[in-house]
């Protein structure tokens, strides 16, 4: 779990721009501090579910929602566990997406490390998204363009969703990316001396 950063706020803006249906059912995947779950509640969601593998994240989410007078249902586990638990009008996701040598099974790095291509969570999320969305539902996913946003688009479209990039923002590397820049450059994921990355928000619409 880490404090909300530029990717969280970019996704929150996209959520506002999407025009969430009043009283809609919302799922926030990899909720972390619950910033997006809270934003959904404040935006008029009728029911908000937040899911995360980290129990501390869920406690933080519950407290943040409670402080604002909101009711958020927290679920410990993988977002795939929500398949069959009804469908959602909106699904938001700020998953781990930083390329890493391996995928950690525990510890703080689990909140950002996502395997050699940064897609250990993204690929599963794209596969499950069509099963989570209700008819006319909206999925919003944020990640770095280093993780191949075109692949995310193809995977979502392959699942029968209409998908497009709806927001972009170039930001300086954070501490993890700065520390890993040499490794990323050797793998050809960034240029030598690169200090910025582009964040993208991808919207997926169910028919």
Cα dihedral 59, 54, 7, 186 in deg (nearest 10): 160
Domain that holds residue 114: 6-205
Q: What is the pLDDT of residue 1?
A: 59
Q: How many domains, the chain?
A: 1
Helix (H, G, I), strand (E, B) or coil at 73: strand
Q: What is the pLDDT of residue 108?
A: 85
| Residue 186: C-alpha distances to residues 147, 175, 183, 192, 195 (Å) | 16, 18, 5, 8, 15
Record the pTM: 0.95
Residue 140 falls within a domain, yes or no?
yes
Residue 1 falls within a domain, yes or no?
no
Burial class for 157, CB neighbours closer than 10 Å (0-12, 13-18, 19+): middle
**How would you write the pLDDT of the chain (207 residues) with one tens digit per residue?**
567 789 999 999 999 999 888 889 999 999 999 999 999 999 999 999 999 999 999 999 999 999 999 999 999 999 999 998 889 999 999 999 999 999 888 888 889 999 999 999 999 999 999 999 999 999 999 999 999 999 999 999 999 999 999 999 999 999 999 999 999 999 999 999 999 999 999 999 999
Q: What is the CATH number of the domain that holds 150?
A: 3.40.50.150
d(CA 33, CA 136): 28
Residue 135 falls within a domain, yes or no?
yes
Q: What is the pLDDT of residue 38?
A: 97
Rounded to the nearest angstrom, the gap between the alpha carbon of residue 73 and the centroid of all alpha carbons in its chain is: 18
Yes or no: say if 87 and 66 are a contact pair by the CB < 8 Å rule.
Answer: no
């Amino acid at each position: 779990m880490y404090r909300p950063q530029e990717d969280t706020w970019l996704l929150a803006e996209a959520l506002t721009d999407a025009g969430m249906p009043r009283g809609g059912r919302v799922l926030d995947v990899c909720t972390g501090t619950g910033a997006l779950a809270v934003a959904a509640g404040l935006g008029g969601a009728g029911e908000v579910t937040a899911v995360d593998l980290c129990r501390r994240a869920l406690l933080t989410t519950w407290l943040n929602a409670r402080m604002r007078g909101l009711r958020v249902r927290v679920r410990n586990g993988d977002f795939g566990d929500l398949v069959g638990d009804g469908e959602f009008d909106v699904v938001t996701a700020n998953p781990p997406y930083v390329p890493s040598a391996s995928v950690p099974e525990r510890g703080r790095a689990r909140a950002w490390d996502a395997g050699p291509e940064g897609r250990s969570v993204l690929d599963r999320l794209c596969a499950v998204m069509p099963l989570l969305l209700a008819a006319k539902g909206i999925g919003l996913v944020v990640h770095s363009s280093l993780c191949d946003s075109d692949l995310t688009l193809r995977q979502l479209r392959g699942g029968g969703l209409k998908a497009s990039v709806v927001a972009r923002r170039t930001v300086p590397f954070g501490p993890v990316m700065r520390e890993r820049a040499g490794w990323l450059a050797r793998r050809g994921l960034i240029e030598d001396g690169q200090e910025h990355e582009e964040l993208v928000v991808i919207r997926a619409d169910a028919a």
